[in-house]
Amino acid sequence: MELKDRVRKIMVDWIIKVHYTLSLSPETLFLSVSLLDQYTSLFPTPRDAYQLTAIAVLLLSCKVEEVQPPLVEDFLQITNHVFTRQQIKAAEYEILAALRFDLVRPSSFEFMLFYLNVSPVPEIVEYSACYVLESTLMESSMYQFTPSLLAGASLFISRIVHRLPPWTPELSRFHAAECEDFQNCVDSILRHLAGLRRSVTMKGLYRKYSIPAYMHVSAFDYDVRGLLDFI
């Protein structure tokens, strides 16, 4: 039984906020959302356990990805001690048992790093591409696309926003930007971004990328649908 879409968005938005507060790695964020979806697709999550489940997937992801993972006490403090240490540890164990300790999947962020290495771009374009890619975590329908396709489409959009050629010969070795699957992915992300920008509640990601450290990339206009016909 999968989470209802709105509930899932609230949980992912909260994970993004805590992830940013604790200065965790992007890999931790993507793994956290992956674990959340894997677990909740197998077991119904009661309303009063939403935040506890989010804490548990974050903690597990930190233990996989972080050199110095935060402690349980850090999450107790963030949540004003709503849960006990024992409850959090029990939730971690339940998730591990449900997933049979098989936690790691290839993430779209790993493909993004690969594409940026193959065809480097200015830092502001990197931040924009990561903003677009992280935004796809909010939408469960994005699972219809492969991680490599999501990464490629996010980079494609970012390059257009910053007036770069949308694709390069180096990147074409891995994805043909003109193919139907690629363009469908681009269209889906653009529709999602338009809705996210209008949202008055899902602002965690927007605020994260609105600061100088990320060169205010969330403030750019990502509605490039009118330009696609001319590319």
pLDDT in tens, 89-105: 999 999 999 999 999 88
1 versus 19: which is more confidently predicted? 19
CB under 8 Å to 58, separation ≥6 — which residues?
15, 18, 19, 24, 28, 32, 75
Domain boundaries in the chain? 5-98, 108-230
Answer whether 5-98 and 108-230 agree in fold.
yes
Question: According to the model, what pLDDT value does residue 230 have?
Answer: 43
pLDDT digits (tens, 9 = 90+) for 103-125: 988 999 999 999 999 999 999 99
Superfamily of domain 5-98: Cyclin-like (1.10.472.10)
| Contact between 170 and 119 (Cβ < 8 Å) | yes
Q: Name the fold adopted by 108-230.
A: Cyclin A; domain 1 (1.10.472)
10-14, 147-151, 223-227: lowest mean pLDDT where? 223-227
The Cα 223–Cα 160 span in angstroms is: 10
pLDDT digits (tens, 9 = 90+) for 4-57: 788 888 899 999 999 999 999 999 999 999 999 999 988 888 878 889 999 999
> Is 50 exceeded by the pLDDT of residue 1?
no
CB under 8 Å to 128, separation ≥6 — which residues?
158, 161, 162, 217, 220
Considering the chain, what is the average pLDDT of its residues? 91
Averaged pLDDT for residues 187-198:
86
Question: According to the model, what pLDDT value does residue 4 have?
Answer: 76
